[in-house]
Amino acid sequence: MRRKSSIAATAVFFAMTATAFAQSEGDGRPGKEIRILIGSGVGGGYDAYARVAAQFIGKHMPGNPAVVVQNVPGAGGLKLANYMAQIAPRDGTEIAITNRNLIAAPLLKMVEASNVQYDSAKFVWLANLTTDVSFFIARTASGIRTIEDARNREVIVGSTSSADNNGMFPYIANNLLGTKFKVVTGYPSSSALALAIDRGEIDGVVGFSWSSIQVQRPQWLRDHEVSLVLQLGLLPLPEARDVPMIIDKARNETDRKAMELIATLNTLGRPFFGPPQMTPQSSKTWRDAFTELVKDEAFLTQMQRQKLDVSFLDGEHLQETVQHMIDVTPDVAEAARKSLEPSSTPVQTFTK
């Protein structure tokens, strides 16, 4: 029954959205009301960045339109990516922010090919507001302090989906580093993962972003409730220089290149994008608005209040970065794909 209700709700959402935007101005410019859709639940990092941006970006657009945010979670952001590719209006009245790993998901076969209805290179990439870094975090009470500890005993970690950082990196670590992670997947959001850690349901998360820690659980580090075991990016975070990097744990050069490809996704932080064939006028309007947004003192003050970092990448350079990632050489792509294979990793589905 829940599955049928979910499908029905999705159909209603698509129908209502299509009707609303069919009635919009249709001249290639945002109308009186525009939407930012978020491919995850309320309370996570993507949600936080989108909501603060929505408060201020309208005043940097022609006509000062009202900006509405709407959460469209499902399948680790895949539901929204497919919607943007297939159904979203092309007139600039709707943009999105969703799981950045979906950019490379088809290339790395992180999701079933039959479920993919988008091409990352055809999206119009508008702006990236931050370069994020993810960590393997473990509850202090679990006794896990180093990656060696995770090699010596089974460690139960939570995940939102196989296409998210917290679903990818446990497989990578098990396949390339010899860890013994058991994955409980299906948590609806990073905020649900944080709650699971607090309750002791899981030992930790392999792929919890620094920005999400700052927004959701700043007391974790202050009160020594969790340990930062491993950094999962390309460059160390200044605040955590003593935490080892996953790429430095690689056992050979091939493994290192595979890790680097996947870790590159972290440099994309929280990217905003529009649908394929978005009108040139609309894409320019949005890109210009984001460029002005990151100069807006009120926006920057609010971001600082919410402990959200800003490290801006404009739309043109973001588009080039996405294309470069998709054009990776076949041997590196194959090595990365193999590192993500389930192998012997035990996986359990989270149920409420």
166 and 205 assigned to the same domain = yes
The mean of the pLDDT values for the chain is 88
115 and 14 assigned to the same domain = yes
The per-residue pLDDT for range 292-311, each reduced to its tens digit, is: 999 999 999 999 999 888 99
36 and 145 assigned to the same domain = no
Please name the residues in contact with 157: beta carbons below 8 A apart, sequence gap of 6 or more. Answer: 166, 170, 181, 182, 183, 184, 202, 203, 204, 205, 206
Distance CA(58)–CA(61), nearest Å, equals 5
What is the model's pLDDT at position 43? 84
| Residue 207's CATH number | 3.40.190.10
What is the model's pLDDT at position 344? 64
**Element of type H or E holding 165:** helix 165-177
| Residue 277's CATH number | 3.40.190.150
Pair of tokens at residue 73 = 């979670």
Q: Domain limits at 233?
A: 134-265+340-349
What is the model's pLDDT at position 268? 85
Q: DSSP of 195-241, one letter per residue?
A: HHHHHTSSSEEEEEEHHHHHHH-THHHHTT-EEEEEE-SSS--GGGT
The per-residue pLDDT for range 175-208, each reduced to its tens digit, is: 999 999 999 999 988 899 999 999 999 999 999 9
238 and 317 assigned to the same domain = no
As for how many domains the chain has, the answer is: 2
155 and 170 assigned to the same domain = yes
309 and 248 assigned to the same domain = no
pLDDT above 90: residue 142: yes
62 and 143 assigned to the same domain = no
127 and 50 assigned to the same domain = yes
Distance CA(277)–CA(284), nearest Å, equals 13
The residue with tokens 């979670």 is 73
33 and 123 assigned to the same domain = yes
345 and 221 assigned to the same domain = yes
149 and 42 assigned to the same domain = no
| Phi–psi pair at 26, nearest 5 degrees | 70, 15
For 69, the 3-state DSSP assignment is strand
The torsion of the CA quartet 222, 224, 226, 228, rounded to 10 degrees, works out to 80
Judging by beta carbons within 10 Å of its beta carbon (0-12, 13-18, 19+), is residue 50 exposed, middle or buried? buried
Would you say the pTM of this structure is higher than 0.85? no
Q: By the 8 A CB rule, do 310 and 295 touch? A: no
